[in-house]
Amino acid sequence: MNLISLSGTNSKVKRLRRFVSEKSVRVASGISVVEGEKLILELLEPRNLSVIKDIDTREVSLIEIYLDSTQPRLIERFENLVSTDKNVCQNINIFKISPKVLNNISALKNSPGSLALVKTPSPIDLDQLNFNQDIVILADINDPNNLGPIVRSSLAFGISQIVLTGNSCEMYSPKVIRSSVGAVLRCKNVHHESLTSALSIFKKNGYYLLGTSVKNGEELKNLKYTSPTAIVLGSESRGIDSKFMTLFDGVLKIRTEPTVESLNLSVAAGIILRDIYAAKR
């Protein structure tokens, strides 16, 4: 472990800016950005790294940590952790940067004072998923502030396999990692362009295809769904295109008071996932 001071013109700082701002750089390198002391420390915990290693052949690991040079207690905490836990923190360098430079790099309005580069899980195909387990399929989910909480709720309620279709946003963007509180790094995820093709593959593998709708559908208690289940959620603005509705074995609607037309997507997803989790136990 080395503690190194960097200026705003250093090549590492310039590279860091690109990881924060450019999707193509993140995707090509398999590296993304995590911000905030709590999340970085969670990723350093052995229990989290072991979970990640179990779901993917490529272990998620922190590469470099960048800290606000004016926060000595923050720097000391990371120094102590990295120097004492050799098994988890080997080969991690810590860099000190001025708060002005960190604020210029950060994806947030105000940097929390700590930022790290993290290796993300390798891309996988549909046939690498476990077809005995439930799956969440997200169709055209393009708001990272919805995607992150949905993935976190999925993991909380026992589903660690996520399929993104269509124009869904980048799973490992800094915004999604932050809004999921790191949950995206503990899930298997696949980007499959065609929802029709994905549904066909899951149907052939014995899945109950459960669609969701704001207007038309049944309450969960009235659906005779089976395991494994593929739960499909549509975009924030349009939901699931009506042309797909005939492909589902059942369509679920959340019952609400008539004074509220619809729920926020991530809120609705949390309710659905919790209800299915409870019903299967």
173: left (phi over 0), alpha (psi -120 to 50) or beta: beta
Indicate whether 24 and 144 sit together in one domain: no
Residue 190 in contact with residue 125, Cβ under 8 Å? yes
Q: What is the mean predicted confidence (pLDDT) over 40-48?
A: 70
Domain check: are 166 and 73 in the same one? no
DSSP state of 263: -
**Do residue 227 and residue 249 come from a single domain?**
yes
How do residues 62-110 score in pLDDT, each as one tens digit?
Answer: 788 999 999 999 988 888 877 766 555 666 788 999 999 999 999 898 9
- Both 136 and 51 in a single domain? no
Closest CA to 252 of 263, 260, 151, 156: 263
Q: Which of 71, 95, 119 is the last residue of a domain?
A: 119
Indicate whether 169 and 147 sit together in one domain: yes
Output 237 or 111, whichever has higher pLDDT.
111
**Model confidence over 256-274: pLDDT tens digits?**
888 887 889 999 999 999 9
How many structural domains compose the chain?
A: 2
What is the per-residue pLDDT for 41?
Answer: 85
In this structure, what token pair is assigned to residue 267?
Answer: 């809120």
Same domain, 33 and 153: no
Any idea what the CATH number is for the domain that residue 36 is in? 3.30.1330.30
DSSP states of 72-141: HHHHHHHHHHHHH-HHHHTT-EEEEE-HHHHHHH-SSSS--SEEEEEEPPPP--GGGS-TTS-EEEEES-
- Residue 115 and residue 130 share a domain: no
240 CB-contact burial (10 Å; exposed 0-12 / middle 13-18 / buried 19+): buried
* pTM summary value: 0.88
- pLDDT of 11-28, one tens digit each? 888 899 999 999 999 999
Same domain, 115 and 253: no
The answer to whether the beta carbons of residues 271 and 226 sit under 8 Å apart is no
The residue among 119, 143, 164 that closes a domain is 119
pLDDT given for residue 59 in this prediction: 54
Q: What is the mean pLDDT of residues 32-54?
A: 71
Domain containing 271 equals 126-279
Q: 132 and 67: one domain?
A: no
| Cα–Cα distance for residue pair 84/90, rounded to 1 Å | 10
Q: Which of 99, 119, 139 is the last residue of a domain?
A: 119
Predicted confidence band of residue 219 (pLDDT cuts 50, 70, 90)? confident
Residue 42: predicted pLDDT: 81
Same domain, 15 and 93: yes
Give the N- to C-terminal CA distance of the chain in Å, as an integer.
Answer: 46
Q: State the average pLDDT over residues 178-200.
A: 93
CATH number at residue 151: 3.40.1280.10
Q: Pick the most confident of 35-44, 58-67, 152-161, 229-238.
A: 152-161
Position 52 confidence tier, pLDDT thresholds 50, 70, 90: very low
Q: Are residues 170 and 45 in the same domain?
A: no
Task: Name the token pair of 39.
Answer: 């999340």
Same domain, 202 and 76: no
